[in-house]
Every structure is written in structure tokens, then in C-alpha cells.
Amino acid sequence: MKKVEVHFLGGAGTVTGSKFYLQTDEIGILVDCGVFQGTKEIRQQNWKSLPIDVPSIDYVLLTHGHLDHCGYLPLLVKQGFKGTVLGTAPTLAIAEIILKDSAKIHEEEAEKANKEGYSRHKPALPLYDKLDVERTLRLFKAIEEGEDVVLAQNYRACFKYNGHIIGSTFIELSIYDKTLVFSGDVGRLKDDLLDAPKQPEWADYLFVESTYGNKDHPEEDLENLFRDLVQRTIENRGALIIPSFAVERLQSLMYLLWKLYQKNKIPNLPIFVDSPMGVNVLEVFEAFPKWHKLSEQEYNNMCSHVSLVSSYRETWETIDDPRPKIVIAGSGMVTGGRVLTYLKQLLDERSATVLLVGYQAEGTRGRKLLEGENEIKFFGKYVPVKAKVEHLESLSAHADQSELLHWMQRIKNIPEKVFLVHGEESAQNSFKTKISESYGWHCHIPALYEVVELYV
């Protein structure tokens, strides 16, 4: 039998930073390569070199293009990685957009910190820059969904549609006679833009996300909720600010608001989409129509219904626009992006409403807003929270507990072990119990940097 060492370099004990390294005598494979987000303590992990021999990694396999699954790639290259990064064509297109945007943000934040002197680092440096990203993109290689990719003799990978964002997949990794399944982030059974996830049918070892392992998403009446939010915005002559992930969530919100207007559920209120990255992602939707449900006409009508904000000057013009308005801006957990400018200016206005529409990781500004903090820090200064804060869970792109159990139900065998990753402690403990009750499978919750030996 052959030994495989699995190093849990991220996505363990936390929702972010997914990185699972498989080390064998013949090949080194890293599944996902994300940055840590959230508390300062966990973000500081991004500045440390990985506790493995990075140049010995032959392949990085990307489940999808979100920052917490691909955002560490430039740092991997800086540490000596010269292998190949494999993912579906839309995943690599999304990853390119996200990495370029991330590098720009890191450079701008370092420049701002040096100019205003609020960093204790002299000088403050970006985590990585645009040149690091360019070096990384040269290693990208697109693969087809559903096709076997030979990595080496007795090593094959297959990327299968899982409906989380455009291009996203789970990965079946065949090593000799064993199949290791990495769920990536599993999407919803019912989604306006994407098809239901495919399901694995065999898994000797299963690595499954547990973001919502302890709960089911509520059945929310989105039409009436948005109608009420828009009505309040009009009455208050204020702004409805929606921090949004640029990939999928932003497009879903655009689609939802367009459909509500079509149905006469909401008036023709100005809708500003202020996310350069989100606009770039729209182009990915246009380039890969087979990966989503929108027809060309629906796509065009949806885009024409909103005003796309491109320059930072237009951001300020939107803030100063006295009309009641809806603003959708990145980022979804209020960790960076254009939404920071809107909230720094409008969070202390009682006429404003902030609508959080996705998972908010520990330590993020989004989580602090969700938990009712009285003031939030932006660029070294605190802003009082006077705006009303609302939260919607049903727009999440992550499968909930029932959907995750459904995703696993077609597995014919009993896995030798199930690893619960990409989740907070309470969610993982609850999910572990639920899997044991439902299927009788043995689950393990790995710690960050834990190493587990498997035999194939």
C-alpha cells in the first residue's frame, strides 16, 4: 500500500484559507490555495511561509475562483512553486479577475497606510503585487468539466459541476485504487442562475465543507422583503447599501431586482453596481453561457436595468446623489473594496439601510455589523453605526445542512473517513453528529496544520 500524507494548511478550524496538500513519494498535489480572512490573528497566517516544501508541489487543483480558495497562489509562486494550476476555464477566468483585484487592493492599502501612517510596519508592504499575479497566471491550465485528467501514473483527477459559483466543481482524485473527494464549496439545490450540483457516487475519503453544517437556510419571502426594504428606502430618502461578493451574489442580486421590477413589485429605483471586479465577472457569464441558466436576452436586460459604476469619481457622485437609491458594492464581508467608501460616509445616517446577504466570517466588519456593534473601524477611524442593519440568509451560495446531506446521499460505499473542513467549530460539531445519525459514517474534524496519513 502507498502512503499519502494530507496536510491541512487552511480551511481547518476556520471557513477561510482552504489549502489541502497531498504529499506522496511520487507527486505533490495541493487542492485549493486560498488566503485566510477574518480576525487579525488568522489573517496573520497569510504572511507565514507554508510548512511544506513548496517547490515539490506539482499541481494545484482549484475547486473554484473565490479568494479563500485561490488568493494565496501568488504567495505560493513567491515561495518557489513552478507547477501547474488546473481548473475549469470559468474558474481560471474568475481567479484571474480576483487575483488582479486583490493585488490592487493590497498595493493601495499599503500605499494608504504609508501615507497616513496608521500601520506599525515601516514601510507597510502589500501581501503581493500585480507582478506576482502575472507570474502566477502563466501557470494556469484549463481543463474540461467531467473529463479525467492524468496527473501521473496511477493519479487522475476529475472536476465535476457543483453549482456554488460559475465554474465551480468538486474534485474526485483517484490515487491507485482509492478515490478522494474534495467537495469545494457546494452550491444550492435551487438557484436562479445555476444548475443543481452533481453528486459523487464513491468516496473512500471525503473532504466536505461545513459552512452551514449546523443549520438550514430559512424560507424567506424575498419578494416581500425587498419590496419593504425599497419602500423604506424611498420613505427615508436614503440608500439601501448591499455589500456583495463580486462572483455570483452580485449577479444574483441584479437578476432578483430586475425580476422584481418586471413583476411591478418594486418601482424603478436607481440601482448602482459599484464593483469593477463584479463587472468583469459579468463578462465571464457572457463568455461561458453553458455554465449558467441566463439566456442572452435575460443577461442583456438584467445589465441594462442597472448603472455600472466604473471610476472612483463616479463612486463619490453616487454617494452625493440625493435620490433614494440601491447600491450593490464589493466586498461581501465588508473586508475591502468600494463598499468601504459608501459605509464610511453613510453608516452614521439613520436614513440608510445595510443589507448583509451572505456568510460573514469571524472578525470581519460584516460580522461585527451583524452582531450589532455600535461603531466600525474604516481606514484607522471609527464610524458610528446609525443605519439599520438587515440580514438575508436565503441568498447564500452555500448549501445548508440538508443540502449537504443530500449532496452526499448517492455515495454507494461507506467512506473510510470523512473530514469536515471549511467551517467554524459549532457548525462542524453539529454536522459531525448529523452525518453519524444519517449515514453512520466516521467523521474527523482536523486542526489547522494537522497532518493525517492515508493509505491507498
pLDDT at 124: 84
Give the pLDDT confidence score for residue 119 in this predicted structure: 66
Region 3-211+401-455: CATH code = 3.60.15.10
The one-letter code for the residue type at 320 is: D
The domain spans of the chain are 3-211+401-455, 222-358
| pLDDT value at residue 122 | 75
pLDDT (0 to 100) of residue 246:
84
CATH 3.40.50.10890 fits 222-358, yes or no: yes
Sign of CA dihedral 280, 283, 288, 293: positive
Alpha-carbon separation of residue 224 from 80, 217, 221 (angstroms): 53, 17, 6
Beta strands in 132-168 (DSSP E): 140-143, 148-152, 155-161
Looking at residue 289, what DSSP letter applies? G
> Cα separation of 191 and 179, whole Å?
29
DSSP 237: T
| Residue from 78, 24, 76, 393 nearest 216 by CA | 393
Q: What is the Cα–Cα distance from 404 to 431, expressed in whole angstroms?
A: 9
Question: Which letter, b or e, does each residue of 176-202 get, where b requires 16 or more Cβ atoms within 10 Å of its Cβ?
Answer: eebbbbbbbbbbbeebebbebbbebee
In this predicted structure, what is the pLDDT of residue 361? 83
Question: Within 13 Å of residue 252, how many CA atoms lie on the same side as its CB?
Answer: 25
- pTM over 0.95? The answer is no
Taking only the tens of pLDDT, the chain with its 456 residues reads 899 999 999 999 899 999 999 999 999 999 999 999 988 889 999 999 999 999 999 999 999 999 999 999 999 999 999 999 999 999 999 999 999 989 988 898 888 888 887 766 778 899 999 999 999 999 999 999 999 999 999 999 999 999 999 999 999 999 999 999 999 999 999 999 999 999 999 999 999 999 999 999 998 899 999 999 999 999 999 999 999 988 888 999 999 999 999 999 999 999 999 988 888 999 999 999 999 999 999 999 999 999 999 898 999 999 999 999 999 998 889 988 899 999 999 999 999 999 999 888 888 999 999 999 999 999 889 999 999 999 998 888 999 999 999 999 999 999 999 999 999 999 999 999 999 999 999 999 999 999 999 999
What pLDDT was estimated at residue 358? 81
Residue 207, pLDDT score: 98
Per-residue confidence (pLDDT) for residue 156, from 0 to 100? 98
Look-up: residue for cell 496573520?
44
Q: Residue 286 has which C-alpha cell?
A: 457572457
